[in-house]
Amino acid sequence: MQTRTIEWRNGKVVTIDQTRLPHETVFLELKTCEEVAEAIENMKIRGAPLLGAAAAFALALTAYNSRAKTVEKLIREMEKAAETLKKTRPTAFNLFWAIDRILEKAKTFEGNAENLATFVVKEAQKIADEDVEANRLIGKHGANLIMDGDVILTHCNAGALATVGYGTALGVIRAAWEQGKHIRVIATETRPKLQGARLTTYELKSDGIPVTLITDNMVGYVMRKQLVKKVVVGADRIVKDAVINKIGTFTIAVLAREHNIPFYVAAPKSTFDLTHTSSDVIIEERSPEEVTHICSKRIAVEGIDVLNPAFDITPLEYVTAIICESGILYKEDFGKFRTSCT
């Protein structure tokens, strides 16, 4: 998994359709902001850091395709595109962070509309490049927490596919593996969209890292059997009091605490939303079909009520440490959260 998941190529955004993995590797060539928004909504593009880069490239497409003659008009077009993008997936903070970064820089840009379009494309590229650098650093710091012989449980997919490259939680695992540590991974399947079963096992197997797939409801069993040494997960948003990540993360954190297993969260600072608390965050609710069906096949009777929150909230008290590109922030330091991780 060395290649980048998203690239700007001659006025198009090229990315992998993650809904087709692991059976088929299909590349999408997206030409408009709307096409990127559709791909995000339908989870062809997914994972918080990748959503940030995709949103940045979507604004780049808007700027690149624009016929606006003035900077003011181009900014208005980008603001409209930003509104569309921000409605796609409300929980992942990186999406909002990347859009706001581009719009803020565009508003102070000095030059004509054509130069601004070139600038936006470059800024989107910079966001993508920075993500890979951040993940490499997360891996380097996080690998210090992993010992030879460890078995690490991870949830959902916080790998190269969820980022521009290398991954966050899987970046930590990859870096430890690259250091020659003999580790093994337990991946939860991650219902309803099966990112663990479809994507995490695919990535790890490609890299030759031993991985065992379990269903989500086996976590208590493997922990009680002392088969797990550490948990490492990613995050969609880290707020002042909690980590928000794929539905099921909180259950794993509670079980980890019960069994005295360290629970680590790996995320770049573009995931940190430290002006808000968990009660401010919108948890995305997705379509009932994701629960009533598996791979488009109905498994539940028709006409039943369904709850389908895509993420849950893990209070910081359950988190042993947060690994970001600046280093490892331990539980004891969460009080000085804002200043420590800068």
Q: State the alpha helices, DSSP H only, in the chain.
A: 33-41, 48-65, 71-86, 93-107, 113-143, 169-178, 195, 201-207, 219-224, 249-258, 289-292, 337-340
- Say how many residues touch ligand MRU, by CB under 6 A: 17
Task: Please say which residue, 121 or 145, places its beta carbon nearer to ligand MRU.
Answer: 145
Q: How many residues does the chain have?
A: 342
Choose the stretch contacting ligand MRU; rule: CB under 6 A; options: 122-130, 160-168, 176-184, 202-210. 160-168
Site for ligand MRU in 163-182 (CB under 6 A): 163, 168
- For the chain, report the end-to-end CA distance as a whole number of angstroms: 29
Tell me whether strands 211-214 and 184-188 are parallel, antiparallel or unpaired: parallel
Binding status of residue 200 toward ligand MRU by CB under 6 A = no
Q: Give min distance, CB of 26 to ligand MRU, in A.
A: 17
Binding status of residue 139 toward ligand MRU by CB under 6 A = no
Choose the stretch contacting ligand MRU; rule: CB under 6 A; options: 2-10, 74-82, 123-131, 229-237. 229-237
Nearest to 56 by CA among 18, 104, 90: 104
Binding status of residue 238 toward ligand MRU by CB under 6 A = no
CA–CA separation, 245 and 156 (whole Å) = 9
Helix axes 71-86, 93-107, angle to 10 degrees: 170
Task: Please say which residue, 66 or 245, places its beta carbon nearer to ligand MRU.
Answer: 245
Q: Give min distance, CB of 82 to ligand MRU, in A.
A: 19
Q: Give min distance, CB of 249 to ligand MRU, in A.
A: 7
Interface residue with ligand MRU among 28, 156, 253, 321 (CB under 6 A) is 156
Q: Going by C-beta distance under 8 Å and a sequence separation of 6 or more, which residues neighbour residue 198?
A: 21, 22, 157
Position with the least CB separation from ligand MRU:
234
Interface residue with ligand MRU among 59, 162, 186, 322 (CB under 6 A) is 162
Interface residue with ligand MRU among 236, 273, 312, 325 (CB under 6 A) is 236
CA–CA separation, 18 and 199 (whole Å) = 8
Residue type, 316: L
Please check whether residue 276 is in contact with residue 240, taking contact to mean a CB–CB distance below 8 angstroms. yes
Binding status of residue 310 toward ligand MRU by CB under 6 A = yes
Interface residue with ligand MRU among 48, 54, 60, 313 (CB under 6 A) is 48
- State the residue for tokens 């980022």: 163
| Residues 108-132: b if buried by 16+ CB within 10 A, e if exposed | ebeeebeebbebbbebbbebbebbb
Q: Give min distance, CB of 233 to ligand MRU, in A.
A: 6
CA–CA separation, 204 and 188 (whole Å) = 13
Q: What 3-state class would DSSP assign to 238?
A: strand
**Positions marked catalytic:** 236
Binding status of residue 49 toward ligand MRU by CB under 6 A = yes
Choose the stretch contacting ligand MRU; rule: CB under 6 A; options: 64-72, 143-151, 228-236, 323-331. 228-236
Q: Give min distance, CB of 168 to ligand MRU, in A.
A: 4
Compose the 72-111 pattern: x for residues touching ligand MRU by CB under 6 A, - for all others: --------------------x-------------------
Binding status of residue 248 toward ligand MRU by CB under 6 A = no
Task: Please say which residue, 66 or 292, places its beta carbon nearer to ligand MRU.
Answer: 292
- How many helical (H) and strand (E) elements, i.e. helices and strands, does the chain have? 12, 15
Phi, psi at 265, each rounded to 5°: -120, 125
- Report the interface residues with ligand MRU, using CB under 6 A: 46-49, 92, 156, 158, 162-163, 168, 195, 234-236, 245-246, 310
